[in-house]
Amino acid sequence: MDSKDQTTTTTQNTQPWQEAIPQLKDIMSKAGSLFGSSNATLQGRDVTPSYNQGMGALKQTAQAVEQARTEMMTAIAQQGAQTQAMVMEILNAIRAPRVRVPVRGKDGRISQVIDRPQDEGEGTVQ
């Protein structure tokens, strides 16, 4: 037999999964009916308890996350209020009228000058 007489046949299948489509449709249909079902079975087994447990766990997790979020927001608000009060106190101290008070040494001469906030009712010193 000569190499010129050999032929090769190639078969192309444009839908290689054609045979699996009915099974896939059946699986997807069962999955769709199980979602949200209160009486679900899969291959003869009741999967409702698993679904209910899963949903219960998800709800508990969501509640815990919401509680943690609420607590964090409360803590942030309290810290914000404390910070704002502290900043206002500092700004008031900076803006307050100041008095320079001379401090005399043993020889009677001014040895230093103290700069302090003016007390209420205290006159302005020039």
Q: Would you list the DSSP string of the chain?
A: --GGG--------S-TTGGGHHHHHHHHHHHHHHTT-SS-EETTEE-HHHHHHHHHHHHHHHHHHHHHHHHHHHHHHHHHHHHHHHHHHHHHHHHS-EEEEEEE-TTSSEEEEEEEEPPTTPPPP-
pLDDT digits (tens, 9 = 90+) for 7-18: 777 666 667 667
Query: 47 to each of 26, 51, 85, 126, how far by Cα in Å?
Result: 17, 6, 57, 89
Higher pLDDT among residues 49 and 54, named by residue: 54
Instruction: Quick: pLDDT tens for 61-77.
Output: 999 999 999 999 999 99
Per-residue burial over 80-107, b if 16 or more Cβ lie within 10 Å, else e, is: eeeeeeeeeeeeeeeeeeeeeeeeeeee
Overall pTM surpassing 0.85 (yes/no): no
pLDDT over 90 for what percent of the chain?
34
